[in-house]
Chains A and B, each alone.
Chain A
Amino acid sequence: MRFVRIWAVRFLSLFHKRRLDARLDEELRFHLEMQARDHEAGGMSPKAARRAARSALAADGPGWSVESLKEEVRARRGVPALETLGQDLRYALRMMRKSPGFTAVSLLSLAFGVGTNCAIFSVVDALLLKTLPVDGAERLVVLEKSARGDPQPLFSYLAWRLLQQSAPVCSGVMAMTSDFTAVVRPLGGPAVAGGTGGGIGDAVETARAQLVSGNFFPTLGAGMAVGRWFTAEEDAVPGGHAVAVISYGYWQRRFGRDPGVVGRALRVNGLPVTVVGVARRGFHGAIADAAPDVFLPVTLREAVRYEGGIESDGPKLAGRPIWEQVHDHWLVLLARRQPGVSVARASAALNVLFQRDKEARFATAGSAQEKQELMAQRLVLEPAARGLSHLRRQLTSPLLLLTAVAGLVLLIACGNLANLLLARADRRQKEMALRLGIGAGRGRLLRQLLTESLLLAGLGGALGVACAGWGSRLLLGLARPPTAATSRSSGRRRPCQAGLEEANDTDLA
């Protein structure tokens, strides 16, 4: 306790050094004057009295003077380690200014090495390492039907309804589609069918939307910032409930975090829907590299004119809606295992249910080849703690390769810098000899050099991290195929392009 107090006092005294120095000066002057006065009273001449007062100091030891006494007091006052560090840093900065060429080359090579690694690692982390920001993500699995090692991730609406009866092993089977771009525009009042939103001059606003099942939010364990999620009842009737949950980011961007957004109407691809809630900050669904702005019930598929991703493996039932088609597969299914239920047990139980879906499809299947294919299908559960991803499958091995290359680049940058430092140390031999000659300790010199190197490394690293931001944007821009970019809204494409242009600029510089 006392120890902490003493060091706190010493640390604080760093901040009013000048005042404390002045105080010590005045005290010592006063002391000497008083002593001289007393000597004078004893019959000395004023001059002799002053000399005697000064020489009294020498009784403390050889070579004692007012200055060395001050030094002694100062050493006990502040935090010597910190003060030396300050001195070393100032000196190191001066050295850096004195050789701008060396500084620029070493900083740039470090920044490049560190920046490349940061950029690549941030993509690797987001895509390959980070788990979804939901509770118990390790119990999430994605369902795939596999025939002879060829996994297909899509299911029909009826298959999803069947698989939902797996309560003993799964706390929920969620359905969702891929995310898509929709024209989204807020309306003034509550939703009115057929009403028009906005004047002619309004720019077309687009946002990312995703269809998800009613149990999506509760099963993922996603909290809400405002309002509520939609329930399983609200996605039971096709087209029945026009409701939406918006993401925290969209709420912030588009509505300035206005809590009154709950109850407001949005027009999504022409369909008026009522916002019932805002998902909590950081929740972005179950796709690692997508961030939907608007979540809608899967039953709004037709109403919001989502046309993506139907895979058919048999003839359509004439005149029936998509909800009743056993051969139209368009839903991605995620399940959360109950605690303590192994993947194998959950898989076995789900396969029993899946058998009934297979039978339904078998009855209406067309060719003999289709039937054979169907019989071979089995349900496979893949861990989905890290969420699904559009890019993961294609990018895993290129990313790992890039990571290795980036590591090499950093290694080369370090080697390069080490060489530069060595060459400089050679040039500085005279300086070192001089400093040793006038009494600097070896430890002190070592500390000085270490401080210089650390400062260089720290600045280079900081510069690298600063560059990493646009580096990873550039990387993602390159990873996205150009055809996908054209299908996206112009607003989405701009950051990648900006990243590319920035990169070109620096290449030329």
Chain B
Amino acid sequence: MKDEAESDDAKAELLQGTLDLVVLRTLALGPMHGYGIAQRIQQISRDVLRVNQGSLYPALLRLEQQGWITSEWGTSDNNRRARFYSLTRGGRRQLAAETERWARFSEAIGRLLMA
């Protein structure tokens, strides 16, 4: 039980650091509502990454406060009103910077593990 809680914490921490990047990358494909973002991340990562509402909506709020994404009401594919998020210019810049940082980081880790 205790181990499980700890592993949960570890997962949450990993997500905390990378969730912003993942969400920004997903939105680079085009405007999307919250549920769509969660689905897309799950699909593309082949079910490795799961994003729950509890972390997704606070993250969306955080990104919006930073001015990296904006949101507006739109209509979903089943004709329901939904909040659609899209990347701003600042968000695109942030995504590029973060992607580069991530690539350098993972390359370094990879090299360390291979050595």
Contacts and interface: CB of A to CB of B under 8 A. Distances in A.
Contacts of A64: 54
Interface string A64-101: 10000100110011000000000000000000000000
B78 A26 contact: no
Contacts of A426: none
Contacts of B46: none
B35 A31 contact: yes
Contacts of B31: none
Contacts, number: 68
A30 B54 contact: no
A28 B33 CA distance: 11
Interface string B50-68: 1011110110011011110
Which DSSP category, helix, strand, loop or mixed, fits chain A's interface?
A: helix
B34 A27 contact: yes
A5 interface: yes
B8 interface: yes
B62 A76 contact: yes
Contacts of B58: 72-73, 76
Interface string B74-108: 00101011110000000000000000000000000
A28 B52 contact: no
Interface string A20-55: 000110111011011101100000000000000000
A41 to B, nearest CB: 11
B34 to A, nearest CB: 6
Contact of A23 (B50, B62, B83): B83
Given A5-B67, A6-B65, A76-B62, A30 B57 contact: no
Given A26-B83, A27-B34, A6 B66 contact: yes
Contact of B52 (A10, A33, A57): A57
Contacts of B35: 30-31, 34-35
Nearest to A70: B57
Contact of A9 (B12, B55, B65, B76): B65
**Shortest 3 CB-CB contacts between residues of A and residues of B:** A60-B54, A34-B35, A60-B52
16 contacts: A2-B66, A5-B67, A9-B64, A23-B83, A30-B82, A30-B83, A33-B80, A34-B35, A38-B39, A56-B53, A57-B52, A60-B54, A72-B58, A76-B61, A76-B65, A77-B61
Given A26-B83, A59-B50, 7 more contacts: A2-B66, A2-B67, A5-B65, A30-B76, A61-B54, A76-B61, A77-B61
